[in-house]
Each structure stands twice: as C-alpha cells, then as structure tokens.
Structure 1
C-alpha cells in the first residue's frame, strides 16, 4: 500500500485499534498518513492527557476513601476498589502511550513494551470482569431479599478473596498477549513500534487474537450480566405482584442502581471497540483516513471509561458523595 507523506510531519502512529483494519495486524500493511494528521497529532495527546489526569485523580481519590474510611469497607466497595485500581494502573501508563504518539516511535525497549501492552489488555478485561462479579453480587443480594434470607457468606473477607481470583484470571487471560508483545522494526525506515508480533501465518493468529478478546472480554461477561439483570427484574416484578413488601430497601436499591449505571457506561464505552472487531473480521474494510479517525475515536472512548466511574459514584452514592466532600474540606483546610 502506497504511503502518502505529510510535509513537515512524521507519519502518524498506527495504534492497536487501527490495526483492527489491517489484513494481517501488521503496521507495515497500513496507510497511516491521513491528510488530517497535523490535527490528530495535537488533539490525541490532549485527549489522552485529560483522560490520564482526570482518571488518575478520581480513581486515586476512590482508593484513598475506601481504604481510609471504616464505613466504606463494604463488599460492593471492595469490588469498586479493585475496579479503581485497574483504572488507575491503566492511567498511570497512559503518558507512555502519549510519548510514543508524539515521538512517533518506541524508544522504551522490549520489556516495557510487554508491560505496557499487557496493562492495555488488563484494561480491556479487568473492568468488565469486576463489573460481572458486582452484577452477580447484586443478583444474590436481590435474591436473598426476595426470599427474606440472610447471606452469612457475603463478607468483606470473601470479597477480597474473590477479587484476588479475578486478578489471577485476568492475568492468565492476558498472558498470551504478554508473550507476543514486542518491538517491531519497520524494514523500510528502521522505525520501532510496540506491537503484538505473531508467528506465521500472521493473519490467522491476528484474527484468532481478536476473536479471543471478543469472546472472553465481551461476549461471555455481557451475556452473564444480561441474564442476571433479566432474572433480577423478573424476580422483583413477581414480588411486587405477590407481596406488599418492598423488594429492596432504599440503601440496597440505590447500590443496585449504581452498579447498573456503572455497567451501562462501561458498555457504552467498550461496545464500539468490540463491534469494530466484528466489522474487521467479517468485512474487507479498506483503511481510509475516515476509518483511521473513527478508530482513534473508538480508542479514546474506551480509554475514557477509566476516568468516568468516580463521577458516577459521587453522583449516585451518598456515602461516596459525603466522603468526597469531607476529603475536599480537609484538603482546603
């Protein structure tokens, strides 16, 4: 594919979202020099920097509040804590992605390349898996309320163990990407980029990795909590019909709504990313400047999910709102 040069500017970096549209997943197969690159070269670092600053500040505040305030040590907040840690971990390494974009090559070596791409994929899987666990927990809470039964096994300690198991599962899922992550050297100009380097036949391996991510990072978790929330609504509806008692008290209902909204925002941010995978795998989509621009928008939207959750907690949960207010008052005193 012929490259189009932009006077006075290096060719733009083809990130992994753009590689979705490559027939092999190799950067050298793509035309990564859209005529609007001069704008992208400035806009993307600004967007990523805002996501990094807001996400790091908000998630660090959530982590601090849950660890500091005794009243915040609940089962749901344990899962929120781990979700915030996952988001914080991603925003911590985002400046390296910004540096790669601005430099237009990878100067950080093979080891850091593996670390960054691994964390990038942790971001894909960890959020959705912790939200799935939170959905299971909400379903069990609703079920116990409907049946008027206690849940002695639902403890803060149990939530810690489950969170550790989720991290181990995500590490195992991401391990293949860690193995294949490496520095690619363009034979034409010697430019280094951090990318997934698959063995031959590369197109087959690349498509397999996309299907792997789609199934484990989207299809299975989304199916799980869709089923859970459908069953939850069904049980609540039946209880309203058969009993005058409220299905959930005010506090439990508020937490359930918060989990549902956080889940909905996560789906809003990540669904375009996974839909783009389906489009890339099922169609012969030509890599045009418009496609590249859309791919960067989709990537930015998925990144933005890492900084939105703290605002949702503050807006939907009284305890978080009071904790945020107390923390701000203490910092201004």
Structure 2
C-alpha cells in the first residue's frame, strides 16, 4: 500500500507534500504489512506441512474460527513490532532544504537495531522455516509416489505428473520469495557500512524496493492458487493415510 506514495515522493525529488500525519500512518502501516506478510507466509507453510503429514491430529485446529483468530494474532504481533515506526517516522527537513518522509534515526545504534530487527523478522527467520517445510512436503510427496509406484496401485504416469507440478510450483514460490526479498534486505545490511552512497547504490536500492513490493503483490495470488490445488489433493492424501493406518492397526491386532 505504500508504493504509490513512495513513487509520488520519488517523482517530486524526494519531497513529501502530504503532511506529517499521513507520512506516519502510511509508513507504519506499510511496515506492519511487511511483518504480517512474512508471518502469514511462514504459518501457511507450516500449516500445509502438518496438514499433509498429520491431517487428522490437527483437524480441530483447521477451522475457520481458529484461522481467523490466528490471522488476527499475527496482525496484532506485526502491529506491536511496528510500534517504533509510529514513533520515528516523520517529515524531516534535510540540509538541502528538501522535506522527506523518513525515519528519524539519528544514532547509528538505532539504525543498526531497526535494520537487524526488520531483516531478521521478515527474511532471515521465516526463510529457513518456509524452505524446510516445503522441502519436507516434497520429500513426503515423492516418498508416497515411490511407494505407490512399487505397490502398483494405479498407473504411475498420472501421479508423477502431479508430483512434478507440485515440485515446480514450490520452486516458483521459493524463487519469487527469495528474489524479491533478498536484494532489499542485502542492500539494507550493506547500507550500514556505507558512508557515501553512489548513484549505482541508489539505483540498486530503488530497484530492490520495487522488487520487494512486486513480490508482496504476486505472492498472495500464487498462494491462493496453490491453496486451491492443495485442498483438492488433501482428501486423496487423507484417504491414503487412512488406509495405511487401518492396515497398521490390522497388522497390530493380528
């Protein structure tokens, strides 16, 4: 939501003309949505893995009411993490006389703490969790495919197509998340050691922001698309798990 206002400021030579209150509101809500987006993507990844591997043990948690409560909790946590932005984001007059909407972080320690907090909570912490969940999903799916292929329960060509499609979808999701988020956070870390930014640095910085916003805009649609396919495939996986559990119970009783 902050991209149109950011473009407006860039077009005016970094000058903010929409007032201090709107500067604080837009910047804070934009940061809050950044925290929430990473948190929701992480929780969805964990949820998909658990729903595939342990579908019946989590049935009581996979309800609309609890889903709404979890989402509200994630947004509340994101709002708390973004509280410093409400305090420090304001219209600042620079030495050249231009008034810009920015963070009033004058101390290097404050800049370091803010940058590390934003980078860790929105990239370095969720990225390993998301990668591990989807790798485990792919491993589990390929394992089921190999077991069904050996058992010759059905024509292996069809499930192989589904497994390959799932693999490609997961790879696309991970690639978009990494390629859209990594440049922005890397440049933020490099900026901590940069005293005199060059024109190339500014161009890379603005490009990384555009990539970050583009990734945030595309990811929801990709996750909705994958969620639809995931819900269609989940009952089939649950039926296979049911048959497997029944067979195990029969073997135990015998």
TM-score if structure 2 supplies the norm length?
0.72
Paired with 2:194 and 2:3, the residues of 1 have a C-alpha distance of: 31
Bigger Cα displacement from structure 2, 207-216 vs 225-234: 225-234
Q: What residue in structure 1 maps to residue 125 of structure 2?
A: 220
The answer to whether the aligner puts 1:167 opposite 2:75 as a matched pair is yes
**What does 1:45-60 correspond to in 2, within 5 Å?**
none
1:257 to partner: Cα distance: 7.0
Q: Does 1:97 align with 2:9?
A: no
Distance 1:162-1:178 versus aligned 2 partners, 3 A rule: same
The change in CA–CA distance for 1:288 and 1:307 in structure 2 (over 3 A counts) is same
Which SS does the other structure have where 1:305 is aligned?
A: helix
Structure 2 alignment gaps of length 5 or more: 230-254
Residues in 2 aligned to 1:166 and 1:94: alpha-carbon distance in whole angstroms: 22
CA contact (8 A) 2:27 2:89 kept: yes
Q: Which has the larger radius of gyration?
A: 2
1:291 and 2:201 are equivalent in the alignment: yes
- Number of the residue aligned with 2:42: 132
Equivalent of 2:210 in 289, 294, 300: 300
Query: What is the CA distance between 1:280 and its match in structure 2?
Result: 2.9
Map of 1:157 onto structure 2: 65
Aligned pairs, how many?
A: 219
Q: Deviations over 1:182-241 (max 9, x none)?
A: 11012442x211110025xx1111111111111111111112222323333444455556
Q: Which runs of 5+ in 1 are unaligned?
A: 1-89, 320-333
C-alpha RMSD over aligned residues = 3.3
What's the CA shift for 1:96?
2.4
The corresponding residue for 1:109 is 19
Matches within 5 A, 1:248-327: 261-281=172-192, 283-284=193-194, 286-309=196-219, 312=222
Is the alpha carbon distance of 1:256 and 1:136 closer, same or farther for their aligned partners in structure 2, counting shifts above 3 Å? Answer: farther
Q: What SS is found at the alignment partner of 1:184?
A: strand
Structure 1 CA distance for aligned equivalents of residues 88 and 197 of structure 2: 24
Task: Map Cα deviations across residues 166-196 of structure 1 (whole Å, 9 max, x no partner).
Answer: 100110111111111111012442x211110
- Alignment check: 8 A CA contact 2:33 2:78 kept: no
Shift of 1:95: 2.7
Q: CA deviation at 1:153?
A: 2.4
Provide closer, same or farther for how the CA distance between residues 285 and 272 of structure 1 changes in structure 2, counting only shifts above 3 A. Answer: farther
Runs of 4+ more than 3 Å apart: 230-246, 252-264, 283-286, 309-319
TM-score (norm 1): 0.57
Q: Which moved more, 1:121-130 or 1:209-218?
A: 121-130
Q: Are the counterparts in 2 of residues 135 and 259 from structure 1 also a CA contact under 8 Å?
A: no
Distance 1:260 1:152 in 2: 30
